[in-house]
């Protein structure tokens, strides 16, 4: 099991891998304003191994925070585990508008 969160930026996408949880999200959170510039349009979570409720909360916050952005972010690569976590907290309707359809996944 991974114990860190990694990310890379490529073609307007921030791709995450590792664990997104309360122990690992702080480095990204502190840098989010520098990372999520106006040319970033997608968060790809397909390679996350584990996401806890704090990680899910961070993703929702990032998606919903459009105050500094000309357009909202999209979410790509929702795994079955992450969909289940969102369903447990009844957040499907909140996340759904941000999801990239499978043919558009980056």
CATH number at residue 77: 3.30.750.24
How is residue 87 written in tokens? 């369903």
Cβ neighbors of 5 (< 8 A, separation 6 or more) are 16, 17, 18, 19, 20, 24, 25, 27, 28
Confidence at residue 2, expressed as pLDDT on a 0 to 100 scale: 54
Distance in angstroms (rounded) separating the CA atoms of residues 2 and 57:
20
How is residue 75 written in tokens? 């979410």
Cβ neighbors of 47 (< 8 A, separation 6 or more) are 15, 16, 17, 77
Taking residues 73-102, what's their average pLDDT? 92
| Residue 105 belongs to some domain of the structure | no
Quote the number of domains for the chain: 1
Confidence at residue 105, expressed as pLDDT on a 0 to 100 scale: 47
| Residue 56 belongs to some domain of the structure | yes
Whether pLDDT at 103 is above 60: no
The model's pLDDT over 31-65, given as tens digits with 9 standing for 90+, comes to 998 999 889 999 999 999 999 999 999 999 999 88
């Amino acid at each position: 099991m991974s114990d860190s969160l990694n990310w890379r930026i490529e073609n307007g996408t921030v791709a995450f891998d590792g664990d997104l949880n309360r122990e690992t999200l702080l480095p990204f959170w502190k840098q989010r304003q520098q990372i999520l510039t106006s040319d970033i349009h997608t968060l790809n979570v397909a390679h996350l191994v584990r996401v806890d409720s704090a990680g899910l909360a961070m993703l929702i916050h990032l998606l919903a925070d459009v105050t500094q952005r000309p357009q909202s972010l999209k979410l790509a690569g929702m795994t079955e585990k992450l969909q289940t976590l969102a369903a447990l907290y009844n957040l499907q309707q909140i996340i759904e508008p941000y999801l990239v359809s499978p043919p558009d996944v980056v």
